[in-house]
Structure 1
Amino acid sequence: MFTKIVSLWQELAINNRVEGIYLSEDNLINLEIENLSQEKQSFHSFQLFLADNIQALLLVEKKINDLYYQITITFDCQEIVDFIELINPRIDSENLTQINSILSYSTNKDNPDQHFIFTLMKILTEPLMFQDNYLNDYSQHQAIEVILRNRIEQERILHQVTQQIQQDLDLLVIVKMTIEQVQSLLQIDRLLIYQLRVPIKDKSSEEITYIDTVTYEAKASSVIPSVLNFQEESCFNNIKDSEKKYLEGFYLAIEDVNYSNLNPCLKESMRKLGVKAKIAMPIIVKNKLWGILIAHQCFSVRKWKSNEINFLKSITEYLAVAIYQYNSYHTLEEQKKLLEKQVAKKAKQLQDALLVAQIANQSKTEFLGSISHELRTPLTCVIGLSGTLLHWSKDVKNNLSLEQQIRYLKIIQDSGRNLLQLINNILDFADIEAGKSLLYMEDISLENLSKMVYLSALEISQNQGIKIKLDYHITKDLDLFYCDGERLYQILLNLVDNAIKFTPFGGEVTITMRRNKTQAIFQIEDTGIGINKEQIPLLFTKFQQLENYRTRTHSGTGLGLALTKHLVELHGGIIEVKSIIDKGSIFTVSLPNSSPTFSIKSKINEEEIKEVSGLKINKTIVIICEDDEIGTFLCQLLTAADYQIIWLVDVYEAIHRIRLINPSIVILEQNKEASLDICKTMKSESKDNLYLMVIKDEISGSEWENLSNFGVDEYLLTPLQPKILLRKIAKIINT
């Protein structure tokens, strides 16, 4: 455009029949005068033509870049005189004399050449001429002033949209303002945006569905019916084909809907909406069809002009920029919130870890006091009574009676057993903490186990006035149970001992055993003092006693229940507690019926097992998890342990890829998406025997039974314990 305008000035000088003068920056004298420094900065270049019938100045104030210039065009005599005074020192004397002469005697200053003006206006309107027929749209029907006014208004709207995008205004504000102004400028009856894949959240189920609907609308009058939230599904069965066409640059412009080649369904839909003519322009964001800008003419047919079509194209491009920026901003906001949440979570974890460390330190102090007390009591008995026996054994005249000697020896023996049990508990707990404890799995008789526990309970409760009751509900066909019998006996005996300890004289302790095909359930119920609800979480904490060792009335180191919980978890089981103050407590242990194929065999070093039956072990593990923290933890831990890890987020994608990946283990984060039916489908899709583990925050005995019925082989409770997890994985992989 600038080149054409410069050429127009040059043609004016060449073709003008009246003598005139033409000047540009090339005609100036290059004088090095200090007072010209300001003049040099005031403009980039200029074109000046002076004659009696026309004075025209084209001043290029600055060059923004290779494509854009900031210019001033003036025919005002005074403005031209002011500019000449600015460059006066650099005009040679001959040209200056001629300029002064023309400016002094020109007779037609206010009536410039009309042909020149029309040609200039024609050049300035060229941005609207995207197609050759643009002038035909306007030249016969509209004056050049109307063309320029429309063009200026279009540029104003585009500039306003740009400003709003730069100001990061809300997308709703930008789109609403834009379509309202465009509808008003182009005098469109109804301008709307038909948005694709709008997310809708179901209030009851919390599920998100996606629909195509009208989300924005601007109307010329209230008489025109609204189509806001309008959905049309039946006519868009081939939407994918339409999307492809729109992405390739297709747009729809129909002057008369009745005589268009629209499909009958869409044409009928337009008739119902009262549409006579329409335009549909795609809004493409990141190479995807985000929506369609649609213009409806409702009361008459309309011949759409090329400048209107191109203006609507520009509007869709600007809206696409606004939408992309809005989406990017919200993505960054979500990431920021997620990071802030993770930072807050980490800070809370650090705070909790500090608190736990402080409690652990206090608990260890309590433990040292407790263990000292527990060791001192039986040792005092052993040393005191053995000393008494030695003393009286030397005195022949005053010998102790046989009954007294037997009673003293019995007390010494019981104290020794208590010491041994105490030391064994400490050593067992140390082995479990160090990951050195192994289970020696075998088939045991639950009936024999129940009798042993019952007899031990009777012995412990002797002379304490506590009734022991055995409630056994296991048929003979389910009597054999695969577990570590010695450890299971230890679990039950610890619970029975604990129940007797906290049950007062005249109370009752009931041992209940039940069994089904998948698990065995053991319950120890007492009528004791009960436990506060707030203190139940502390029961299974190591070195933790609910009474202070200086003031408590019941003995113990605080290791028994912690050791019991670890032994239960080694079996893959769970332990639960229900308690009411002054009513009693119920401890429930649920153990899965382990298969010999997947048990830990005695005297087998897991690190040395590399191949089974000459076949290479499949060490591929698939993790299906949306939680970044859990997924990262599992990946890092299992990768360091030399397993091949594949982390998938989408559970449905995982189902389709299971057969291709063929993992030996799938670790599934249990949530709303991962239902029980999905567990069963995943097992059926695998080529070989797939071992399925689920991650849960907590689990009850009935819930575990339900999970196992749907093909779940194992569960992991959060927070995940690295040692237990690695032990379970090694057991499964190597066998």
Structure 2
Amino acid sequence: MFERLQDLLKQMKSRLGEEALLLTDEKSLSKSATPPEFETQRFAVLLSLRFSVLLVGEPQEPDSVAGYDGQSRLYQVGLTFEPKAIASFLTQLSRHASHPPIALDTLHQSQTRLRTNDPTLQTEFTLSLLEILASGEMSDSAHCPVAVCQPLVDEALCQQIEQERLLNQVTTQIRQSLELPVILETAVEQLRNFLQVDRLLIYQFDEFNCVSAIYPDNIPSTQDKTESLNLRLTSQGSILNSTVYWGRVTYEAKASDAISSVLNLVEKEDCLLQVPNCRTKYRQGLTLSIDDVEAAYPDSSCILELMRRYQVRAKLVTPIIVQEKLWGLLIANQCFQPRHWLENEKIFLKQIAEHLAVAIHQAQLYAQLQQQKTTLEQRVIERTQELRDILQAAQAADRAKSEFLATMSHELRTPLTCVIGMSATLLRWSFGQEGTQQVPLHKQRRYLKTIQESGEHLLELINDILDLSQVEAGKAILNISEFSLNNLAHQTIRTFQEKADLRQLKLEMDLQVKSQSMNGTRRQEDRFCADQRRVKQILFNLLGNAIKFTPSGGKVILRIWREQNWVVFQVEDTGIGIAEEHIPLLFQKFQQLETVYQRNYEGTGLGLALTKQLVELHGGRIEVESVVGQGSFFTVWLPNQPLTSSTSMREAALQKNNFIVQGSIVLVEDQEESATSICEILTAAGYHVVWLIDGSTAFQQIELLQPNVVIVDWQLRGMDGYEVTHCLRNSPSTQQIKILALTTSTITEDQEDELSAFIDDYLLKPVEPLQLLQQVTELMAK
């Protein structure tokens, strides 16, 4: 028998190839140093990464076997596949191995590489082993009770083969499939058939936080000993570290319909609450076996009632641990009678649970991969759409630029042609190049008027472009003042009346703003605070468009009314109207609803875009309603602005009875708008201000005037602020004058240290009135 089994090991070595190592007692021991325990022992050990087995022949005493004739040596032959047992044997063997043929380091490496056998190879070896044992062709068979042992051996080997086959089938399915439900359903059904149990379950946990977890102090001792974990059918949950684990039965296989189903069961019984450390024990690999629940829970009527309700008489439970986390339980139930659970059944159930844990982890990784793939695909789609939008925006911007250039070339060429042509004609006439004939005065006036109108038109175009760029750059500042809505409306109507008459249009005004007394209190509905120039610009753009796009015989109406703190301006016309799909284009820059070659109306496409920017600069809004062929309504809402401008400060200063001149100031500024604002602020506060434009002559005049403070723009054209200040500081007659510099950018600490020798303080433009007055007052006090 030993020789035949050793031949089987040699066949397996050939099957495994060069990765396998076969050691035998004939080639591995040193004859000179053979210990007593190895003198008569036979052995053969096959080692590889995928399959390892140890064959041992232990000599037996002749008297121990009945009928032995004593003519040959008797051995008890044994096989083991357990890695620990093989490693222990190799440790003993390495102490007596010969050098050569086996090196000690080879034995050491073999010991460290031992692992559980590949299921497929294990099954092949077991089948071959079964053939050897079943053949009955053993030497000296008359002296061995083979006939008595053979049925038991066959049954054990058949069970081993079936177990290996089932394990191999489960592992193969795990390798070939990523569908976790299919794997679990198949495994549950096959495992139930193999164990021949009434019901087999997979119980899966759901984890969530619990507000508090209180363990009872009077847990019965019987429950403490036998009910390590009763999750629903085996325990309801684990309360530990303020976390409670509940779950449900997710997979089930039954032997017959007579057995009640517990699929998707969620238990609520408090009697199944867990004792401490149960979750820890299951995470450590605890397998719970109860042969008879009636005997296990004599003192717990609650648990017994629950087990009876769901037909549980015996149960075997092993944990499914995925990446060191308790994922669920694999549960076998015997429903109608007790059952003694064998050790190999416990081991086999645990092996299946380990393989299922691999499948679950594999499915989790696959799900994460799919989620990442989906997320990545979505990001690619979103990014592609973003790039497409950017491309479309760039193409639209390019088209808008081309259209703008085409429009501007048309709009600028027409008035320039008039200006150049008519001015050249007037020049020729004035120098007599057209003969001695005198040019009629009315013709000269007509030419000059055309030149003036063309120049004004060019100025409007340039102003629109500059205003729009200034607003978009965030440099536009509202010059808030209080003004009359009545006056604004009448001035606007008078401005456009002539143009409306020329086009034979009826221009009307509907002013719903009143100024009246009520109960002795004056209600100033007519007064409104905003940037009057910007508001007028808004109305001019809206009325100009309305007149331009309204045919002869039509009507244009300007309406103004109050809505609490808001003023509403509405321009109605009976013009050509705007298609609904074109309304979103109205307020875009350089947009014309007709191409430059088809349109019948002049314009750059900037008017409405600028109007919207100015409305929003005031914190208001603009809306459009239009019907093609009937006309349009443009409605603007503007809120009343707080008075923080120089005008309000001047008015407040003039109301003071003790108004006196508080000091003299020289302002050196070449920007008219900025200079005007600063002069008004300081004058309203009682200061005497002299404004100088040219930096090159400023020093001589300052030396003559001897002011208290000089305010100088650091970015002056020609001689800049630095040069002016340098002259002032180097002259004995002006060294004592305080200097306040105006700059458009923030000065760093290093720059401030360098400038401290020349200036006393600096102020950022645009100037804030209160900050200007505060700094001037401080300089005056020094």
TM-score by length of 2: 0.52
Q: Deviations over 1:345-398 (max 9, x none)?
A: 434443444444344333322222211111122334445566677788899976
Residue in structure 2 matching 1:217, options 227, 252, 257: 252
Q: CA deviation at 1:297?
A: 3.9
Residue in structure 1 matching 2:200, options 185, 191, 195: 191
Does residue 66 of structure 1 match 2:114? yes
What is the rounded CA distance, in whole Å, between the counterparts of 2:602 and 2:336 in structure 1? 94
**Residue of structure 2 equivalent to 1:108:** 140
Does residue 321 of structure 1 match 2:354? no
Q: How does 1:78-477 map to 2 (within 5 A)?
A: 108=140, 145-197=154-206, 212-232=247-267, 245=280, 248-249=283-284, 254-255=290-291, 260=297, 272-278=309-315, 281-383=318-420, 399-401=440-442, 411-432=450-471, 435-440=473-478, 442=480, 447=485, 451=489, 461-464=500-503, 465-468=505-508, 470=510
AA partner of residue 362 (structure 1) = R
What is the rounded CA distance, in whole Å, between the counterparts of 2:470 and 2:412 in structure 1? 21
Q: Deviations over 1:419-478 (max 9, x none)?
A: 112101222333345x35233374766946973666666566453315455576899799
Change (3 A) 1:146 1:44: closer
Q: CA deviation at 1:248?
A: 4.4
Q: Secondary structure at the match of 2:596?
A: coil
Q: CA deviation at 1:563?
A: 3.4
What is the rounded CA distance, in whole Å, between the counterparts of 1:236 and 1:580 in structure 2? 76
What is the rounded CA distance, in whole Å, between the counterparts of 1:261 and 1:523 in structure 2? 91
Q: Secondary structure at the match of 1:188?
A: coil
Change (3 A) 1:397 1:231: same
Change (3 A) 1:264 1:556: farther
AA partner of residue 28 (structure 2) = D
**Residue of structure 1 equivalent to 2:28:** 26
Q: CA deviation at 1:196?
A: 4.2
AA partner of residue 375 (structure 2) = L
Does residue 552 of structure 1 match 2:552? no
What is the rounded CA distance, in whole Å, between the counterparts of 1:183 and 1:45 in structure 2? 30
Change (3 A) 1:387 1:324: same
Change (3 A) 1:74 1:438: closer
User: Which sits farther off after the overlay, 509-518 or 557-566?
Assistant: 509-518
AA partner of residue 218 (structure 1) = A
Q: Secondary structure at the match of 1:438?
A: coil
What is the rounded CA distance, in whole Å, between the counterparts of 2:618 and 2:281 in structure 1? 61
What is the rounded CA distance, in whole Å, between the counterparts of 2:439 and 2:557 in structure 1? 47
Mapped contact 1:47–1:58 kept (Cα < 8 A):
yes
Q: CA deviation at 1:318?
A: 2.8
Q: Name which one, 1 or 2, has greater alpha-carbon Rg.
A: 2
What is the rounded CA distance, in whole Å, between the counterparts of 2:342 and 2:334 in structure 1? 14
Mapped contact 1:374–1:556 kept (Cα < 8 A):
yes
AA partner of residue 425 (structure 1) = D
Q: CA deviation at 1:545?
A: 1.9
Residue in structure 2 matching 1:582, options 629, 634, 652: 629
Q: Deviations over 1:148-181 (max 9, x none)?
A: 5444444433333333332342111111111121
AA partner of residue 66 (structure 1) = L
Q: CA deviation at 1:409?
A: 5.5
Q: CA deviation at 1:187?
A: 2.9
Change (3 A) 1:318 1:54: closer
Q: Deviations over 1:550-582 (max 9, x none)?
A: 221111112233334444555666655554433
Q: How many residues align?
A: 520
Change (3 A) 1:307 1:499: farther
Q: Secondary structure at the match of 1:548?
A: coil
AA partner of residue 365 (structure 2) = S
Change (3 A) 1:339 1:375: same
Change (3 A) 1:521 1:301: farther
AA partner of residue 346 (structure 1) = R
Mapped contact 2:127–2:161 kept (Cα < 8 A):
no
Mapped contact 2:177–2:183 kept (Cα < 8 A):
no
AA partner of residue 477 (structure 2) = L
What is the rounded CA distance, in whole Å, between the counterparts of 1:324 and 1:596 in structure 2? 70
What is the rounded CA distance, in whole Å, between the counterparts of 2:283 and 2:550 in structure 1? 82
AA partner of residue 555 (structure 1) = E
What is the rounded CA distance, in whole Å, between the counterparts of 2:270 and 2:177 in structure 1? 36
Change (3 A) 1:371 1:156: same
Q: Deviations over 1:235-272 (max 9, x none)?
A: 59979989955764466655555663998877666555
Q: Deviations over 1:314-361 (max 9, x none)?
A: 433333332222222222222223223333443444344444434433
Change (3 A) 1:192 1:66: closer
Q: Secondary structure at the match of 2:603?
A: coil
What is the rounded CA distance, in whole Å, between the counterparts of 1:557 and 1:218 in structure 2? 80
TM-score by length of 1: 0.55
Q: How does 1:665-684 map to 2 (within 5 A)?
A: none
Q: Secondary structure at the match of 2:202?
A: strand
Q: Secondary structure at the match of 2:251?
A: strand
Q: Deviations over 1:298-328 (max 9, x none)?
A: 4345454454444444433333332222222
Q: Deviations over 1:189-227 (max 9, x none)?
A: 33333444599xxxxxxxxxx995443322222333434
Q: Secondary structure at the match of 1:416?
A: helix
Q: Secondary structure at the match of 1:24?
A: helix
What is the rounded CA distance, in whole Å, between the counterparts of 1:516 and 1:263 in structure 2? 79
Q: Secondary structure at the match of 2:250?
A: strand
Residue in structure 2 matching 1:501, options 528, 548, 551: 548
Structure 2 unmatched ranges of 5 or more: 10-23, 32-45, 60-71, 87-106, 209-244, 516-522, 645-673, 679-741, 750-782
**Residue of structure 2 equivalent to 1:621:** none
Change (3 A) 1:235 1:458: farther
Mapped contact 1:284–1:320 kept (Cα < 8 A):
yes
What is the rounded CA distance, in whole Å, between the counterparts of 2:305 and 2:53 in structure 1? 60
Structure 1 unmatched ranges of 5 or more: 10-21, 30-38, 81-102, 122-141, 200-209, 612-735
Q: How does 1:586-625 map to 2 (within 5 A)?
A: 586-587=633-634, 608=746
Change (3 A) 1:555 1:419: same
Q: How does 1:609-648 map to 2 (within 5 A)?
A: none
Mapped contact 2:207–2:246 kept (Cα < 8 A):
yes
AA partner of residue 26 (structure 1) = S
What is the rounded CA distance, in whole Å, between the counterparts of 2:341 and 2:561 in structure 1? 83
Change (3 A) 1:416 1:211: farther
What is the rounded CA distance, in whole Å, between the counterparts of 1:243 and 1:455 in structure 2? 93
User: Which sits farther off after the overlay, 520-529 or 413-422?
Assistant: 520-529
Q: Deviations over 1:678-702 (max 9, x none)?
A: xxxxxxxxxxxxxxxxxxxxxxxxx
